[in-house]
């Protein structure tokens, strides 16, 4: 199953230090990691939540550095796209996968798939035996919907105030972190439901 | 400029008074009869305030209770928002299983996330699956399986045996017996049809043909029935389910049945091939059989040409999943291997020539690795792909690199045993690293030790040192395939032209070779040709990983037992020689050269400690290096180590071939250098020699002299001269007074030691049993130790 889905910055943000990443959306699925770790079992819920938040921050930072190294190596020039050009932005996006070693920060090894669309990164952290081909397709689909429904190519910090839309999207396309084998017909049916939600 | 920070910061730093006002306003809103847009916006704001900080905020109890009640609201917006808010805060204090079934009247997907009592959640979910309540909307049922999937990850023991049996049965129903007609009221007629012609329409395949067999995820229709949806959800979690509950290790006496089937493999396979569907199998075995059939059907369906790209991608993903599930069920029931292999082999034949299916071929390789031996199938062509074509042609596919390297890591032991070409494939495998070092260096940290073998160690070292060149070559290769015609009047880059020049082809082809077993001499030409690529970002990233890999390489050579036994001195000598020549010839200003020197210095000592006779073997090269005064200034670190090594190990007790003449010639070389650096100003542009170099030289000379006593007068003379010279105060070759004092002190110590040659010899060249004490294993040493231990234990602490 997928452990978490993140939307975060992958460019330099003036208010943050170099290499830091601002989290715009995060959703964790499945077990609370604290239960697996002896060290964390003794923590109270508040402390556990803190540890969880920091764990996500670690993932975001690692992906940020992977994205910037990848962009540096490929020496591609980032083309600025404006709202309305979501399909183009998605096509131009770079992608990759980061291996997260066991213990850093999850208790077992994970694969973090990422898509870098301009200054935004969309990350899906999967368990090791997950079907990465399916995960990649799902990530692209989720990203496309987020870009379209949340106008993310503009200046907007709209995503911060519309996290419930991303929640609803995830509840259809990635319910409880479960990757789904959806052919175009099934996907259409679910996307209709999502569109209906967003319209209200 | 994209700047989401302002909103985050405001939310995090909201004043307490303002926050309380906001809470009370929200409570009022929630008390109203009609909850509209304003409520939704306020709830969203609340969520942002709670999630913007990593420290937990608690809500006032009244507000929390109100939000909790929204979990069972009929409007999904409120379910989503209340669930999100409650996830960011703590349950009300004093009530542990706060969110339990009593509070949430209708179990919806968003509420289920919060439930803490998993066993009862589990029981409730399964009860809802069993009963066919007509008032339960279709989609609330579909979420049952994803929720169960998370329970499987968290605590599989929540499911009782009955639950497992029930689910096995339901999964069989959904996977194999879902309806094969289109749902949603689709009819075969057109716009003007009447009720008579409204016949159920069968589902279709992705290429438009009518489905001829049972329903799978690769079937399409205008609308879908509930069990067809469950078919999709079931398949999506099938692998996880099989891995969790059906693995052989999970007991239940399956181990016995498997043993039997392995022994009577041929007999059982005939039986199961013909009449599996007719026999009434227990639920678990039945699910296994149906999963098997489902996978075979998917493999057949994936051969069809889908109309849309997303469906083609789905077909690939289905192939991967199907092969993985087949692998899984074959692990449980070995008799299935004989039924599965023809299909897998055919699939391999179909896909092996198409590189766009590379990621599908990896699970097939896993299948071959796991079951190929049992089925006595020849796997050669599979390994040729995995170790040959994939790294050579798809080195720039990030996902393939990740998955292939993961495959290697997970199967390292079997590969080392059963696939001899693994250890010879490092020139190819390293292409992944040369292309995208930051992403895969972690994998190579794990894999590199396994690639170091007695036969290939030296060549591997060469390849590691040439990695930046390989990186540049790969970039050129990729560019030349993109731009076949060379740009006229280009940007003055020589490398692309050199790459295309036939006379240099051989050199580049050597770098791009696939197998180990080659050596070449003209690498310096290559280095010159590629010199200008040294600041390309990809090359720089690659170069930064080389020191780490060298560390791992040397560490493996020294510590791994199998290498200690099989790696002969000769190979170590050649390795040492090569590195030495390289270091001597590298211009010291190159940052990379300094890195190499640093890495090598630390390992040189360990090398020589393990094989002291190396020093005698390599004495010529070592002396040449140590005798060059320029090295004192430019390569101080490694110079110090070399001198120390010479002093320590150039003796008869280390190697009987060490002659007096050798000792004398070494002495003279070092003496000359020491004279030079202590009698003149450092050359222009260089700092004073480090005190450590001076003292190491002095100690080395003293050690050598202690082995050949007629050299002692020469050393003593120098040391006393040194004392006299420095009494005058400062000297040109040492800027710091304290350092000078330390040097002189050391000189005096050595001088007085050498006054008694016998003592000097035992101190400066101690016999082995002193340097490697045996402690309790040595009867002479053991007694005092035992006595001390006894006394301590008797007297108490």
State the pLDDT confidence band at B189, using cuts at 50, 70 and 90.
very low
Mutate to test the interface with B, among A180, A181, A192, A197 (most CBs of B within 10 A): A181
Tell me which of B234 and B732 has the higher pLDDT. B234
Q: Which domain holds residue A169?
A: 2-198
Contact yes or no for A126/A113 (Cβ under 8 A):
yes
pLDDT at residue B257, as a whole number = 41
Q: Å from A166 to nearest chain B CA?
A: 10
CATH number of the domain that A65 lies in? 3.30.450.60
Residue A167, chain B, CB below 8 Å: the answer is yes
A93 token code pair: 């996006």
Long-range contacts of B581-584 (CB under 8 A, 24+ apart): B581/B621, B582/B465, B583/B635, B583/B638, B584/B624, B584/B625
B-chain residues near A26 (CB < 8 A): 51
State the pLDDT confidence band at B187, using cuts at 50, 70 and 90.
very low
Q: What is the pairing mode between strands A120-126 and A2-9? A: antiparallel
User: pLDDT tens digit string along A125-156?
Assistant: 999 889 999 999 999 999 999 988 887 776 65
pLDDT at residue B264, as a whole number = 39
Kindly tell me if the per-residue pLDDT of A41 is higher than 70.
no
Q: Give how far the C-alpha of residue B399 lies from the chain's centroid of Cα atoms, to the nearest Å.
A: 13
Helix axes A132-150, A163-173, angle to 10 degrees: 150
CA distances from B57 to B49, B54, B442 (A): 9, 9, 38
- B315: closest chain A residue by CA: A183
Tell me which of B484 and B491 has the higher pLDDT. B484
CB pair distance less than 8 Å for A45 and B48 = no
Contact yes or no for A97/A113 (Cβ under 8 A):
yes
User: pLDDT tens digit string along B42-69?
Assistant: 888 888 888 888 788 888 888 888 888 8
DSSP reduced 3-state for A122: strand
Range list of β-strands (E), A19-118:
23-28, 94-100, 110-117
User: pLDDT tens digit string along A66-117?
Assistant: 999 999 998 877 777 777 778 888 888 999 999 999 988 888 899 999 999 9
State the pLDDT confidence band at B277, using cuts at 50, 70 and 90.
low
B-chain residues near A186 (CB < 8 A): 217, 224, 229, 232
Q: Find residue A117's DSSP bridge partners.
A: A120
Rounded CA separation B309/B142 (Å): 27
Contact yes or no for B654/B616 (Cβ under 8 A):
yes
> B585, B641, B80: which is closest to A168 by C-alpha?
B80
User: pLDDT tens digit string along B120-155?
Assistant: 777 777 777 776 544 445 556 778 888 888 888 877
- What is the Cα gyration radius of chain B? 38
DSSP reduced 3-state for A182: coil
Tell me the three-class secondary structure of B126-137, residue by residue: HHHHHCCCCCCC
Annotate B330-375 with DSSP letters as a single string.
HHH-TTHHHHHHHHHHHHHHHHTT-GGGHHHHHHHHHHHHHHTTTT
CA distances from B25 to B28, B30, B39 (A): 5, 9, 10
pLDDT at residue B386, as a whole number = 94
Tell me the backbone φ, ψ of residue A27, rounded to 5 degrees.
Answer: -140, 120
Kindly tell me if the per-residue pLDDT of B569 is higher than 80.
no
Rounded CA separation B733/B687 (Å): 9
CA distances from B277 to A171, B245, B385, B575 (A): 37, 22, 37, 63
Contact yes or no for B402/B442 (Cβ under 8 A):
no
Contact yes or no for A98/A72 (Cβ under 8 A):
no
Q: Å from A169 to nearest chain B CA?
A: 11
Closest Cβ opposite residue B541 in set A57, A73, A197: A73
Contact yes or no for B730/B778 (Cβ under 8 A):
no
Kindly tell me if the per-residue pLDDT of A173 is higher than 90.
yes
pLDDT at residue A192, as a whole number = 93
Rounded CA separation B182/B201 (Å): 6
CB pair distance less than 8 Å for B236 and A49 = no
pLDDT at residue B586, as a whole number = 58
Tell me which of B312 and B156 has the higher pLDDT. B312
CA distances from B670 to B229, B288, B755 (A): 83, 76, 21
Ranked by mean pLDDT, which of A156-160, B148-152, B214-218, B478-482 comes out on top?
B214-218
Overall domain count for chain A:
1
Contact yes or no for B87/A77 (Cβ under 8 A):
no
State the pLDDT confidence band at B487, using cuts at 50, 70 and 90.
very low
Rounded CA separation B553/B560 (Å): 10
Least confident of B187-201, B578-592, B689-703: B187-201
Residue A91, chain B, CB below 8 Å: the answer is no
CB pair distance less than 8 Å for A134 and B321 = yes
Q: What is the pairing mode between strands A94-100 and A120-126? A: unpaired
A-chain residues near B153 (CB < 8 A): 1, 30-31, 127
- A101: closest chain B residue by CA: B442
> A117, A130, A111, A109: which is closest to B317 by C-alpha?
A130
Closest Cβ opposite residue A1 in set B4, B80, B149: B149
Question: Torsion angle, CA of A70/A75/A77/A78, rounded to 10 degrees?
Answer: 10
Q: Which of residues 137-166 of A touch B (CB under 8 A)?
A: 137, 155, 157, 159-164
CA distances from B153 to B325, B499, B738 (A): 18, 52, 65
Residue A185, chain B, CB below 8 Å: the answer is yes
**The complex's ipTM?**
0.94
Mean pLDDT within B242-247? 82
Kindly tell me if the per-residue pLDDT of B698 is higher than 70.
yes
Residue A176, chain B, CB below 8 Å: the answer is yes
CB pair distance less than 8 Å for B47 and A16 = no
Tell me the backbone φ, ψ of residue B731, rounded to 5 degrees.
Answer: -125, 160
Residue A13, chain B, CB below 8 Å: the answer is yes
Mean pLDDT within B694-719? 91
pLDDT at residue B250, as a whole number = 45
Rounded CA separation B141/B134 (Å): 11
CB burial of A84-111 (b: ≥16 within 10 Å; e: otherwise) equals eebeebbeebbbbbbbbeeeebbeeebb
Kindly tell me if the per-residue pLDDT of A38 is higher than 80.
no
Q: Give how far the C-alpha of residue B85 lies from the chain's centroid of Cα atoms, to the nearest Å.
A: 37
Kindly tell me if the per-residue pLDDT of B684 is higher than 90.
no
Q: Find residue A27's DSSP bridge partners.
A: A5
State the pLDDT confidence band at B739, using cuts at 50, 70 and 90.
confident
Rounded CA separation B102/B80 (Å): 19
User: pLDDT tens digit string along B785-797?
Assistant: 888 888 888 887 5
Least confident of A84-88, A166-170, B89-93, B671-675: B89-93
Kindly tell me if the per-residue pLDDT of B209 is higher than 70.
yes
Q: Å from A196 to nearest chain B CA?
A: 11
Number of residues assigned to chain A: 200
pTM to 2 decimal places:
0.84
Q: Å from A164 to nearest chain B CA?
A: 6
Kindly tell me if the per-residue pLDDT of B262 is higher than 50.
no
> B672, B612, B676: which is closest to B644 by C-alpha?
B612
pLDDT at residue B275, as a whole number = 44
pLDDT at residue B13, as a whole number = 77
State the pLDDT confidence band at B411, using cuts at 50, 70 and 90.
very high
DSSP reduced 3-state for B215: coil
User: pLDDT tens digit string along B83-121?
Assistant: 888 888 877 654 444 455 444 444 567 777 776 667 777
CB burial of B503-540 (b: ≥16 within 10 Å; e: otherwise) equals ebeebbebbeebebeeeeeebeebeebbeebeebebbb
Q: Å from A38 to nearest chain B CA?
A: 15
Mean pLDDT within B219-233? 91
Closest Cβ opposite residue A178 in set B8, B236, B308: B236
Least confident of B454-463, B507-516, B699-708: B507-516
Alpha helices in A75-200 (DSSP H): 86-92, 132-150, 158-161, 163-173, 184-199
- How crowded is residue B118: how many other Cβ atoms within 10 Å of its Cβ? 17
Residue A156 backbone zone (phi > 0: left; psi -120 to 50: alpha; other: beta): beta
Q: Å from A113 to nearest chain B CA?
A: 9
**Cβ-proximal residues to B20 (8 Å cutoff; 6+ apart), any chain:** B60
Rounded CA separation B486/B509 (Å): 19
Contact yes or no for B491/B505 (Cβ under 8 A):
no
């Amino acid at each position: 199953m997928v452990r978490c889905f993140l939307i975060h910055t992958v460019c330099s943000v003036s208010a943050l230090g170099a290499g830091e990443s601002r989290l715009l959306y995060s959703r964790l699925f499945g077990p609370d990691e604290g239960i697996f770790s002896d060290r964390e079992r003794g923590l109270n819920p508040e402390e556990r939540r803190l540890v969880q938040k920091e764990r996500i921050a670690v993932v975001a930072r690692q992906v940020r550095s992977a994205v910037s190294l990848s962009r540096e190596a490929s020496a591609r020039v980032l083309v600025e796209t404006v709202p309305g050009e979501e399909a183009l932005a998605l096509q131009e996006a770079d992608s990759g996968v980061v291996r997260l070693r066991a213990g850093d920060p999850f208790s077992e090894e994970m694969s973090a798939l990422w898509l870098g669309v301009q200054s935004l990164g969309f990350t899906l952290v999967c368990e090791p035996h997950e079907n990465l081909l399916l995960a990649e397709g799902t990530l692209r689909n989720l990203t496309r919907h987020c870009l379209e429904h949340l106008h993310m190519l503009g200046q907007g910090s709209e995503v911060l105030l519309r996290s419930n839309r991303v929640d609803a999207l995830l509840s259809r396309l990635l319910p409880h972190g479960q990757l789904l084998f959806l052919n175009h017909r099934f996907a259409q049916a679910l996307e209709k439901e999502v569109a209906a939600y967003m319209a209200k | 400029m994209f700047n989401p920070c302002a909103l985050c910061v405001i939310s995090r730093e909201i004043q307490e008074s303002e926050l309380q006002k906001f809470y009370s306003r929200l409570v009022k809103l929630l008390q109203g009869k009609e909850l509209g847009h304003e409520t939704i916006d306020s709830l969203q704001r609340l969520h942002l305030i709670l999630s913007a900080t990593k420290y937990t905020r608690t809500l006032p109890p009244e507000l929390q209770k109100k939000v909790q009640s929204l979990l069972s609201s009929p409007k999904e917006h409120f379910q989503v928002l209340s669930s999100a808010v409650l996830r960011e805060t703590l349950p009300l204090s004093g009530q542990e299983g706060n969110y339990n079934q009593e509070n949430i009247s209708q179990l919806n997907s968003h509420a289920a996330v919060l439930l803490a009592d998993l066993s009862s959640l589990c029981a409730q979910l399964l009860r809802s699956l069993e009963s066919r309540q007509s008032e339960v909307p279709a989609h609330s049922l579909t979420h049952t399986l994803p929720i169960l999937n998370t329970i499987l990850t968290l605590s599989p023991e929540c499911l009782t045996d009955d639950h497992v049996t029930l689910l096995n049965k339901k999964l069989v129903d959904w996977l194999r017996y879902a309806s094969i007609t289109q749902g949603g009221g689709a009819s075969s007629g057109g716009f003007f049809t009447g009720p008579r012609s409204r016949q159920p329409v069968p589902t279709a395949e992705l290429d438009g043909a009518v489905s001829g067999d049972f329903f799978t995820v690769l079937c399409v229709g205008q609308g879908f029935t509930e069990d067809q949806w469950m078919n999709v959800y079931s398949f999506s979690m099938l692998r996880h389910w099989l891995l969790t509950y059906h693995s052989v290790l999970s007991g239940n006496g399956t181990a016995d049945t498997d043993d039997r089937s392995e022994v009577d493999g041929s007999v059982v396979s005939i039986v199961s091939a013909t009449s599996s569907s007719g026999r009434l199998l227990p639920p678990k075995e039945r699910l296994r059989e149906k999963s098997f059939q489902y996978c075979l059907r998917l493999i057949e369906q994936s051969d069809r040409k889908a109309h849309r790209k997303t469906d083609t991608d789905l077909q690939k993903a289905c192939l991967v999943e199907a092969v993985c599930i087949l692998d899984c069920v074959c692990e449980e029931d070995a008799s299935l291997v004989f039924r599965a292999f023809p299909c897998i082999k055919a699939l391999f034949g179909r896909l092996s020539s198409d590189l766009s299916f590379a990621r599908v071929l990896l699970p097939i390789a896993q299948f071959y690795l796991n079951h190929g031996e049992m089925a006595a199938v020849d796997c050669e062509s599979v390994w040729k792909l995995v170790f040959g074509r994939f790294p050579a042609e798809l080195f720039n596919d990030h996902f393939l690199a990740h998955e292939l390297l993961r495959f290697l890591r997970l199967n390292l032991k079997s590969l080392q045993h059963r696939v001899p070409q693994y250890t010879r494939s490092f020139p190819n495998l390293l292409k992944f690293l040369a292309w995208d070092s930051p992403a895969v260096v972690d994998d190579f940290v794990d894999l590199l030790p396994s690639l170091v073998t007695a036969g290939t160690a030296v060549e591997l070292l060469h390849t590691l040192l040439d990695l930046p060149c390989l990186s540049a070559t790969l970039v050129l290769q990729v560019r030349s395939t993109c731009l076949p015609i060379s740009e006229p009047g280009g940007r003055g880059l020589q490398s692309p032209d050199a790459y295309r020049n036939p006379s240099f082809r051989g050199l580049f082809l050597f770098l791009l070779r696939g197998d180990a077993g080659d050596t070449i001499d003209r690498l310096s030409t290559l280095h010159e040709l590629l010199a200008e690529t040294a600041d390309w970002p990809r090359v720089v990233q690659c170069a930064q990983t080389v020191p780490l890999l060298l560390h791992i390489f040397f560490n493996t050579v020294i510590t791994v037992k199998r290498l200690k036994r099989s790696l002969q001195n000769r190979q170590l000598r050649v390795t040492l020689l090569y590195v030495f020549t390289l270091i001597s010839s590298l211009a010291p200003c190159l940052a990379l050269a300094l890195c190499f020197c640093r890495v090598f210095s630390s390992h040189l000592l360990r090398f020589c400690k393990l094989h002291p006779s190396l020093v005698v073997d390599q004495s010529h090269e070592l002396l040449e290096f140590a005798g060059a005064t320029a090295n004192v200034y430019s390569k101080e670190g490694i110079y110090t180590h070399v001198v120390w090594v010479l002093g320590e190990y150039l003796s008869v007790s280390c190697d009987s071939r060490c002659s007096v003449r050798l000792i004398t010639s070494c002495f003279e070389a070092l003496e000359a250098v020491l004279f030079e650096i202590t009698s003149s100003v450092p050359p222009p542009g260089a700092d004073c020699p480090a005190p450590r170099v001076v003292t190491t030289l002095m100690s080395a000379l003293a050690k050598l002299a202690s082995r050949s006593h007629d050299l002692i007068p020469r050393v003593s003379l120098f040391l006393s001269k040194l004392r006299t010279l420095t009494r005058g105060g400062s000297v040109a070759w040492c800027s710091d007074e304290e350092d000078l004092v330390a040097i002189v002190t050391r000189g005096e110590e050595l001088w007085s030691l050498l006054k008694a040659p016998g003592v000097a010899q035992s101190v400066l060249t101690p016999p082995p049993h002193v340097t490697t004490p045996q402690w309790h294993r040595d009867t002479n040493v053991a007694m005092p130790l035992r006595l001390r231990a006894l006394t301590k234990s008797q007297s108490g602490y």
